[in-house]
């Protein structure tokens, strides 16, 4: 039995188990499009394939070595994506805007593959996953396109570029202007699913503190270099990263969800019949982050949470590192 911290926002799907998430997602698509309307075998085999990839059981690739951008995050994002697609279909009914079953399947597969760019090839053994952070989206696009080309969905391989909807700092107006119809809809939902799966995670704050911050340090993403060559620290330490969570949500996440992705999150409410479980989960995380920092209630931060990645480097355990000196 998976720890409670490894369950999704509804407490019904164990995110540490590939087969369980595959079954839940397949059921959602069957209820949405109808049994036999999409390639269920491809869906399940793709889940198994990604599970092997992250475990280092696929020839030519090394196991995932990251605790935050782990298999659990990819599975959670995929589950959210399936639910968004189902809500969208329920809202659109038989209109011309409704998705075709194969577009729904492609959307789910892109969510499943969106962070494969963090996985190192055998020739990249000298690197660690976080060092691939600046280009992991483009690597993920290449990997997903290659995967799709080897399936009956090969004609949709170009949609792999929608993985870039999860990238920070992208001009979404320009990005979506290059796509149309179902592609735009899928891109908006994919970007939303990536954010929602993280911020609604019951251990989001602990994952940021113990796992995300060290990843940022190893990726040198906890600092920026100014044009004159000086280095500016973005986060003094893991607690500083945690303290910026409410502001990050208000200034970055909400703009993306509401404006850039056109409020695609509403499809979750449709899917769940009006009671979207992700809303209170996110609110709870934001309120707890506020109390931890403003009231100096560090005891509200739980212990290091479980991850689906094994054999983590020492930097991910115990007290998080402090700034560039940790390297």
pLDDT in tens, 105-150: 999 999 999 999 999 999 999 999 999 999 999 999 999 999 999 9
The confidence score (pLDDT) of residue 225 equals: 83
pLDDT in tens, 35-83: 999 999 999 999 999 999 999 999 999 999 999 999 999 999 999 999 9
DSSP string, 234-249: S-SSHHHHHHTHHHHI
Q: How distant, in Å, are the alpha carbons of 77, 111, 148, 194, 291 from that of 201?
A: 11, 17, 29, 11, 18
What is the CB-side half-sphere exposure of residue 138 using CA atoms within 13 A?
5
CATH number, position 124: 1.10.1300
pLDDT at 156 over 50: yes
**Is the separation of the CB atoms in 79 and 24 below 8 Å?**
yes
pLDDT at 256 over 70: yes
The confidence score (pLDDT) of residue 179 equals: 94
Please state the length of the chain.
327
Q: What is the mean pLDDT of the chain?
A: 94
What total number of domains does the chain contain? 1
**Is the separation of the CB atoms in 139 and 117 below 8 Å?**
yes
Q: What is the value of pTM for the model shown?
A: 0.95
**Is the separation of the CB atoms in 118 and 67 below 8 Å?**
no
Range of the domain at 138: 4-326
The confidence score (pLDDT) of residue 326 equals: 38
**Is the separation of the CB atoms in 116 and 144 below 8 Å?**
yes
> Which residues pair with residue 223 across a beta bridge?
233
- Report the C-alpha gap between 325 and 327 in whole angstroms: 5
Tokens linked to 57: 């059981």
**Is the separation of the CB atoms in 120 and 225 below 8 Å?**
no
pLDDT category of residue 322 using cuts at 50, 70 and 90: low
Mean of pLDDT values over 248-258: 96
pLDDT in tens, 6-37: 899 999 999 999 999 999 999 999 999 999 99
| pLDDT cut 90: percent of the chain above it | 86
Mean of pLDDT values over 259-280: 96
**Is the separation of the CB atoms in 300 and 287 below 8 Å?**
no
Please give the radius of gyration of the chain, using alpha carbons only, rounded to the nearest integer: 19
pLDDT in tens, 210-219: 999 999 999 9
């Amino acid at each position: 039995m998976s720890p409670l911290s490894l369950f999704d926002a509804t407490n019904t799907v164990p995110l540490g188990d590939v087969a369980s998430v595959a079954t839940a997602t397949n059921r959602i698509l069957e209820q949405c499009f109808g049994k036999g309307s999409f390639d269920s075998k491809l869906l399940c085999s793709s889940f198994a394939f990604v599970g092997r990839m992250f475990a280092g059981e696929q020839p030519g690739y090394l196991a995932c070595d990251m605790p935050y951008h782990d298999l659990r995050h990819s599975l959670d994002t995929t589950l959210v994506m399936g639910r968004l697609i189902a809500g969208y279909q329920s809202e659109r009914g038989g209109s011309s805007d409704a998705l075709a079953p194969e577009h729904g399947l492609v959307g789910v597969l892109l969510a499943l593959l969106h962070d494969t760019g963090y996985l190192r090839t055998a020739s990249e053994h000298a690197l660690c996953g976080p060092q691939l952070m600046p280009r992991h989206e483009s690597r993920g696009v290449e990997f997903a396109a290659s995967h799709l080309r080897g399936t009956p969905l090969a004609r949709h391989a170009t949609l792999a570029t929608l993985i870039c909807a999860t990238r920070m700092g992208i001009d979404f107006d320009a990005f979506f202007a290059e796509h149309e119809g179902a592609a735009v809809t899928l891109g908006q939902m994919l970007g939303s699913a990536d954010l929602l799966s993280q911020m609604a995670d019951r251990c989001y704050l602990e994952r940021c503190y113990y796992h995300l911050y060290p990843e940022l340090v190893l990726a040198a993403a906890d600092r920026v270099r100014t044009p004159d060559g000086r280095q500016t620290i973005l986060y003094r330490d893991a607690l500083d990263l945690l303290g910026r969570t409410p502001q990050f949500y208000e200034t970055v996440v909400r703009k993306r969800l509401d404006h850039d992705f056109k409020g695609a999150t509403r499809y979750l409410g449709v899917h769940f019949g009006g009671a979207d479980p992700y809303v209170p989960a996110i609110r709870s995380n934001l309120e707890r982050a506020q109390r931890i920092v403003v009231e100096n209630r560090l005891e509200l931060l739980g212990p290091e949470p479980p991850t689906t990645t094994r054999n983590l480097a020492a930097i991910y355990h115990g007290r998080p590192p402090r700034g560039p000196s940790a390297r």
